[in-house]
Structure 1
Amino acid sequence: MVKRLIIMLLAFATLTGAARAQEPPAKVSLGLISVPLANVREEPLPKAQIVTQVLLADEVRILEKQEYRYRIAIPGQGDREGWIQQEAVQVPRDKGRSYLKADRQWVVITAPKTFALILDKLGNHNVSLYAGTRLPVQERTADGYKVLFPDRTVAVVASADAEPVRPRNPVLGGVTPAEIAKTARKFQGAQYLAGGITVQGMDTNGLIYTVYRIHGIDLDTDRNALKAKAVKVQKKEL
């Protein structure tokens, strides 16, 4: 799948970045994803179509509650909407101000899948993290980054699997076509999953979204929105 999509990935010449921690409207609650990966479905039904996925610490806006599900909008995906299990979302009392504060250093997971070592009173254990996950840094260690989860859990991520989040830029800036292609090739062999954005399962839109997110550029995961921000080029022009 990746080989056929390299040209499509490189065709995004003008892209819009998204700001972090914007204040939500008065009647809308801000939530933070509290699990490594969660499905966002078209309808509030267990087997409804997956429209996209969200990753640990992603910011969402809670628009509606129905039994044990939330209807959310995802600022980092062009305000894409859908339904998610309530247990996957943490609602901070301060609307995320302390966790999402702008002066924090953040890292992004660059490996398709890695493990974070959680440090707590119950003993050290691992939790899965997926490419594109962004987490605030508490401390840089000799072997990696000490990061903070939305529930204030502290974990260590290997430096080989993460790097500082690049400043958001509405254009590609210093990101070269070769970098984009190299990142895309990491997902060679990923299983197909409609609406998926990780190596566990992804579609074309999810691959594009994740590759650019690693490089500090947030995109919508909707096909039409992606096409609207792309410019057609010939292979020889790349």
Structure 2
Amino acid sequence: MSIDVVDLRNFYGQRLGVVARRFVGRGIRSLWRDTAGQRVLGIGYATPYLGLFREEAERCLAFMPAGQGVVKWPTTRPALSALVDENELPLVDSAVDRVLLVHGLEMTYDPAVLLREVWRVLAAGGRLLAVVPNRRGLWARMDTTPFGHGRPYSRTQINQLLRETWFTPTGWSEALYVPPVARGWFLRSAVAWERTGATLSAPFAGVHLVEATKQVYRAIPARREKRRLVPALEPALSPGT
């Protein structure tokens, strides 16, 4: 289900990818305004957006799934990226404060396993920010961009999945109202598309941006003890009597 890392890198090097990075990055920054002193981990292909936090965060790391492949990041500094098994992240429990999940949730074969692993490596009160294709948006319907690959989600589906994996959704946003068309007029009018879509709360945004916090104390459903009824034994005579 994964898309190759070379295709991801090439997309973000094109004009449409630059537009996507601009608007998605703006949405990410609106939810995470300050990461000073925080340990930030990107999972999937989050490197186009991790640069927003690299200078202010205590540490930034980029984990890329084995099925996708890995590229060096940052390109001109010591590498902070690594190829990993997304279901067994090479970190101890509670190792990071923030996780940015981009091109990850929709690509994995088992979203619940991935999110539980994210839960494990997040510190108490840690925050997850996931960028997920909107199943009602145009970007999920066209495979000419990475957002058209994998499994898109509705808000209801994301909310249910997060709660099942011990997260509490705390913030929502959308981005990419502009159609995924790499033509001059659409790209030049991208700002107008974004502004109009956000003002009208239009349902056809390309991606959801959802922030969630790690739920440390999970409610354990009470189970009523079942009573087993044992029938009374009837008296019987032994064969020798």
TM-score, with structure 2 as normaliser: 0.24
Q: Which has the larger radius of gyration?
A: 2
Q: Return the structure number with greater helix share.
A: 2
Q: Which has the higher contact order (CA 8 A, sep 6+)?
A: 1
